[in-house]
Structure 1
C-alpha cells in the first residue's frame, strides 16, 4: 500500500490544522493501514510542511493515536447502525439476542469494508483507545445484562461474558482478514458469524436455542 495520500485541494481552514492532519492521518490509515500514518505523509496530504505539523503533534505515535481514535469512531458508527435495525418485538430475550448478533455482524462487516481502519483501530503501537468506553461495547454489555435480567443468561455465567463474546468475534475478523480464512467469501464469513453467535449465545445460556432464536440470529448475524 502507498504511504502517501494526494494533496488536498483548497488546503485547510485557518486555525483548524490539527483536525485537518487527523483527517489526513485517517485517510492514510484507510488506504494503507497503520504503517502508512506518518507526520510527513499527513503534512504532505494537507499541503503544509512537517515542521508545521509538529506544532500540533509531538511525533508519529501521537498522530497514530489520533488516527486510531478516528478509526474506532468509524467502527462504533457501523456497529451502532447495525443496532438500529433490531426491532422492538416486545420479547426481551429475542431483542437482546438480536442485538448481540447485530453487533457481531457490524464488527465483521467493518473489518472487511474498511480493513485499513480496522487494523489501525487495533494496531499494536500507540495506546489503543479503550474499547470498553465506546458506545457499541457498552451496548454489548447492556444486551448481555438484558439477557440476564430476562432470565436467559444465568447470573453466575454473566461475569466477563462481554470479553468472551468480543474475543470470539474479533478472532473471526482477524482470521478472515489476515489469517488462514482470508480467502473465504462473504457468504462463508456470514455463515461462520451466524454459527459463532449461536455458539456464544448457547454457551452463555447453558441450553439449546429455540428455533425462533436461531431464526433471529440467522437474520441479524448472516
Structure 2
C-alpha cells in the first residue's frame, strides 16, 4: 500500500501538482484513507529518492532538482525512472536471449551461463540521440518481455506482470571510452570518452533481476544523487 502511495506522491511532484511542500500528514491520511504510519513509510520512500526534505515543525518541502529538465538524471530515482523518459523514444538494435559469459558474470555478479534476455537500444528525446543502453534481464526472474514494453517502460511492465519492483541498486558512474561497436551504433569515433552508468537492480531478498550499462551522449547532462546523514550527527 505505502509503495503505491509513494509512487502517486512522486508522480504528483514530477508533474508539479505540489508547488513547494507536501500536504500535511493528516491531509494525506484523509486523501488516501490510511494510517499515519503508512503515510510516513510512503514519505520515507519519497525522501530517499531525494524529492523532499523534512523541516522540523514545518512539514515536508519539495527539493528543486529540475526534474522536468532533460539535462538532469536523478540517480537516486534510478536512471529508468526519471521523468523525461515519458517523452523518450527507442530504436531497438537487438532483442534476443543469450547466456552469460565469464565477463558478464564477473562484471555484474550474475551466474556464469545464466539465461538472459538482452536488449540493446538507442534512446532519443525530441528526436535527438540521448543514450545507448545495454540491458540484461535474468530469465529465471523475468521469463519474457514484449516489444511494446521494450519500446516504452520495461520496469512498469515487469512490475505489473511479475510483481517485481526494485528493492535496491548498485550504481557506478564513470567516464569510459567508446568501444568500436558502441561508437558505430552512436555514429561517433571509437575511443571517445562518454559518461557511462553501470547498474545492477535487485528485488525481494537481494535477488538480481536486471543489470545494464547506459552510455550518455546528450549534451550538458548533470547527474544528481541524494545522500542522507544516517549517523544522527
Greater relative CO, 1 or 2 (CA 8 Å, sep 6+) = 1
Q: Going by fraction, where is strand more abundant, 1 or 2?
A: 2
Question: Normalising by the residue count of structure 2, what TM-score does the alignment of the two structures yield?
Answer: 0.30
Structure of higher CA gyration radius: 1
